[in-house]
C-alpha cells in the first residue's frame, strides 16, 4: 500500500495543468518535444506559460501549418515548384526533401535578368515534361553533381542553340542518355563522346572554355583548333582524347589522350590522375618528360608513381613559407628548380624519394604546424574484436608520425592542410589497447576522397574500401574513381 501511494503521489506531482496539456496536444507535440519546439521557434522553453503566451504559440503554429500546406501543394505539382523557384518565391530551407531544396537553391543562385529567368523556366518546364532527370543528381569524374546546375549553364548558352528546344524528343529512358540527347539536339551536328557531357557540370572560374569545346567539337571541328587548350595537342593526342572512357571528365580525358599518345596505358593514366598533377596542366613540358620516364620503365611498380610525383613537385616547384621568428615568415625557394629527368634511373630516383621521406620526418618546420579542422565527420565501427576509426590529422607532428609508420610522404601535405586545400585522415584498427595504422586518406576541401594509400604506398583492400565507402556516405563525401584500385 505504501509503495502504491508513493507512486501515485509522484505521478500527481509531475502532472501538468490541464490547459498546458491541452495546449501541447493542440500543437501535435508531447512533453518531451515541446521544449525543443519552443527553442527552435523563438519561444521560452518552459511549461509555465500564461494564456497570452499560449495564444501566441498557437497562432505561430497555425501559420506554420498553413505555410507547410501551401508548400506541400506546390511540391505535388512540379510545374508550380519550377515557377516559384524561378520567381524566387521559394526558400530552400523550407523544403524537407534534399532534392527539392538543392533544386531551389541552384535556381536561386542563378539570379539574372528577367528574360534569362523566363528562358530558364521554359527550359526546366520542357525537361520536366519530357525527361526524368530534372531533380536528380549523378556522379561525373568522381564528383556528385546536379542536373539542374548543368541546365542553368546550358541556358546561359541559349544563343548558340542550333535547333528549337520545343523540337527535342528524348528517345531513351536512361537519364544520362536523355541529358546527352538534349545537349546533342541543342548544340551538336555530329556524334559526341560521352565524357564531353561533363563540360556542363564543371562550374568554376575558367570552366566556360570546356563548354565552348563541346560546341566546337559538336560543330564538326577538331579539338586541336579549340581555344584556350592547356597545351598543344598532336593529331595522335586529339585522336586518343576522343577515345577516353565515358566516366572521365574533360580534364581527365586530356590527360588520357596525352599519356596514350606517348605510349602509356590505362593503369599509368589512372595512377597519374590520382596525383596532384592529374588535372593540373602547369609546367606541362617538364611533366611530359616524367610521363615518358614512366613509359620507358614499364616494370617500375605503378604504386610508386604518386610518391615520385610528390618528390619531383617539391624539389622543382614548391615554394615553402617558413616561420623564422614570431610573426616573421621567410619564403624558401624549391631545392632543385633546375631538376630534369635526363639520365635518371628508377633505382636512383626511388632512393632519393626514400631519403626525402627521412628528411621530412626530421623537419622542425612541419612539426610546429596546427591545421584548422575541415568540418567533415570522423568514423568509428566495430567488427568482431576490432574497432575501426577514421580520424583527421590536425598537426604537422601527426603527419610526420603517419608517414614514419606507413613509409610514405604524407608530411609534404602540411602546407596544403595549413592553407585549407585538403585534409588528411588516418584509418586505424584498435584491438586490446593497441592501435594499428592501415591507411592514409586525402580529402579535398570540396569533399572529395582523392587519395588512399597504406604502408609503402599500397592500395586499399576490399574490406578497407568498404569502410571508406561507409564513412563517405555518412560524412557526405564523394569518392574519386581512382581510390578504388584494390590491393
My answer on whether 342 and 405 are in the same domain is: no
Q: How is 325-349 classified by DSSP, letter by letter?
A: ETTEEEEE--S-TT---TT--HHHH
What pLDDT, on the 0 to 100 scale, is given for residue 438? Answer: 93
The residue segments making up the domain with residue 341 are 277-362
Indicate the average pLDDT of the chain: 86
State how far the alpha carbon of 328 is from the alpha carbons of 36, 322, 367, 397, 419, in Å: 49, 8, 17, 21, 17
pLDDT bucket at 482, cuts 50 / 70 / 90: low
My answer on whether 385 and 451 are in the same domain is: yes
pLDDT tens for 455-481 read 888 888 888 998 999 999 888 888 876
My answer on whether 417 and 351 are in the same domain is: no
Which residue, of 330, 362, 394, is where some domain finishes?
362
My answer on whether 327 and 419 are in the same domain is: no
pLDDT bucket at 7, cuts 50 / 70 / 90: very low
What pLDDT, on the 0 to 100 scale, is given for residue 445? Answer: 87
**Is 415 a domain residue?**
yes
How far is residue 397's CA from residue 401's CA, in Å, rounded to a whole number? 6
Q: Is the pTM of this model over 0.95?
A: no
pLDDT bucket at 79, cuts 50 / 70 / 90: confident
Which residue, of 336, 362, 388, is where some domain finishes?
362
**Is 324 a domain residue?**
yes
Which residues, in sequence order, are CB contacts of 224 under 8 Å at separation 6+? 232, 233, 235, 238
pLDDT bucket at 193, cuts 50 / 70 / 90: very high
What pLDDT, on the 0 to 100 scale, is given for residue 60? Answer: 85
pLDDT bucket at 140, cuts 50 / 70 / 90: confident
What pLDDT, on the 0 to 100 scale, is given for residue 71? Answer: 60
My answer on whether 407 and 358 are in the same domain is: no
pLDDT bucket at 135, cuts 50 / 70 / 90: confident
> Residue range 365-392: average pLDDT?
88
**Is 97 a domain residue?**
no
Alpha helices in 76-132 (DSSP H): 78-86, 98-109, 114-130
My answer on whether 21 and 61 are in the same domain is: yes
> Residue range 91-97: average pLDDT?
65
What pLDDT, on the 0 to 100 scale, is given for residue 67? Answer: 67
User: 59-68, 198-207, 294-303 — which is least confidently predicted?
Assistant: 59-68
Strand partners, 422: 444
What pLDDT, on the 0 to 100 scale, is given for residue 81? Answer: 82
My answer on whether 340 and 395 are in the same domain is: no
**H/E stretch holding 378:** none
**Is 189 a domain residue?**
no
pLDDT tens for 301-331 read 888 898 899 999 999 998 876 655 566 667 7
- Pull the grid cell for residue 395: 598537426
My answer on whether 330 and 418 are in the same domain is: no
pLDDT tens for 421-451 read 889 999 999 998 899 999 999 998 888 888 8
In the chain, count of helices (H) and strands (E)?
20, 10
My answer on whether 384 and 475 are in the same domain is: yes
> Residue range 59-88: average pLDDT?
75
**Is 135 a domain residue?**
no
**Is 439 a domain residue?**
yes
**Is 421 a domain residue?**
yes
What pLDDT, on the 0 to 100 scale, is given for residue 40? Answer: 80
Domains: count for the chain: 3
pLDDT tens for 248-284 read 889 999 999 999 999 999 999 999 998 889 889 999 9
Amino acid at each position: 500500500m505504501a509503495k502504491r501511494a508513493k507512486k501515485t503521489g509522484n505521478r500527481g506531482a509531475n502532472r501538468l495543468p490541464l490547459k498546458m496539456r491541452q495546449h501541447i496536444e493542440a500543437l501535435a507535440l508531447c512533453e518531451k518535444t515541446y521544449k525543443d519546439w519552443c527553442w527552435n521557434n523563438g519561444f521560452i522553453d518552459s511549461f509555465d506559460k500564461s494564456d497570452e503566451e499560449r495564444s501566441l504559440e498557437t497562432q505561430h503554429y497555425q501559420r506554420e501549418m498553413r505555410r507547410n500546406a501551401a508548400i506541400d501543394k506546390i511540391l505535388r505539382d512540379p510545374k508550380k515548384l519550377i515557377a516559384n523557384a524561378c520567381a524566387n518565391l521559394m526558400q530552400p530551407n523550407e523544403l524537407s526533401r534534399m532534392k527539392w531544396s538543392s533544386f531551389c537553391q541552384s535556381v536561386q543562385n542563378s539570379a539574372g535578368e528577367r528574360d534569362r529567368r523566363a528562358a530558364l523556366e521554359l527550359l526546366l518546364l520542357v525537361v520536366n515534361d519530357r525527361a526524368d532527370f530534372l531533380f536528380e543528381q549523378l556522379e561525373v569524374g568522381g564528383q556528385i553533381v546536379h542536373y539542374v546546375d548543368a541546365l542553368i549553364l546550358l541556358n546561359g548558352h541559349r544563343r548558340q542553340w542550333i535547333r528549337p528546344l520545343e523540337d527535342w524528343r528524348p528517345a531513351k529512358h536512361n537519364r544520362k542518355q536523355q541529358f546527352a540527347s538534349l545537349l546533342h539536339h541543342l548544340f551538336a551536328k555530329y556524334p559526341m563522346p560521352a565524357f564531353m557531357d561533363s563540360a556542363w557540370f564543371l562550374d568554376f572560374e575558367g570552366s566556360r572554355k570546356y563548354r565552348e569545346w563541346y560546341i566546337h567539337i559538336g560543330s564538326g571541328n577538331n579539338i586541336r583548333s579549340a581555344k584556350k587548350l592547356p597545351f598543344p595537342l598532336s593529331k595522335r593526342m586529339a585522336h586518343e582524347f576522343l577515345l577516353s572512357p565515358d566516366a572521365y571528365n574533360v580534364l581527365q580525358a586530356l590527360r588520357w589522350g596525352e599519356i596514350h599518345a606517348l605510349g602509356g596505358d590505362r593503369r599509368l593514366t589512372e595512377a597519374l590522375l590520382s596525383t596532384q598533377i592529374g588535372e593540373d596542366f602547369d609546367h606541362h613540358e617538364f611533366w611530359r618528360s616524367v610521363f615518358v620516364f614512366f613509359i620507358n620503365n614499364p616494370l617500375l611498380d605503378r604504386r610508386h608513381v604518386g610518391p615520385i610525383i610528390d618528390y619531383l613537385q617539391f624539389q622543382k616547384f614548391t615554394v615553402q613559407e617558413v616561420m623564422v621568428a614570431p610573426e616573421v615568415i621567410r619564403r624558401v625557394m624549391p631545392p632543385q628548380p633546375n631538376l630534369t629527368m635526363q639520365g635518371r634511373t628508377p633505382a636512383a630516383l626511388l632512393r632519393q624519394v626514400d631519403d626525402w621521406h627521412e628528411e621530412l620526418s626530421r623537419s622542425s618546420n612541419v612539426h610546429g604546424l596546427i591545421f584548422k579542422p575541415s568540418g567533415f565527420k570522423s568514423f568509428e565501427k566495430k567488427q568482431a574484436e576490432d574497432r575501426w576509426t577514421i580520424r583527421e590529422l590536425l598537426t604537422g607532428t601527426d603527419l610526420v608520425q603517419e608517414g614514419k609508420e606507413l613509409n610514405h610522404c604524407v608530411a609534404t601535405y602540411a602546407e596544403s592542410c595549413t592553407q585549407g586545400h585538403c585534409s588528411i585522415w588516418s584509418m586505424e584498427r584498435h584491438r586490446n589497447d593497441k592501435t594499428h595504422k592501415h591507411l592514409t586518406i586525402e580529402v579535398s576541401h570540396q569533399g572529395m576522397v582523392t587519395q588512399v594509400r597504406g604502408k609503402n604506398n599500397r592500395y586499399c583492400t576490399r574490406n578497407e574500401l568498404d569502410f571508406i565507402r561507409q564513412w563517405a556516405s555518412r560524412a557526405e563525401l564523394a569518392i574519386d574513381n581512382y581510390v578504388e584500385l584494390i590491393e
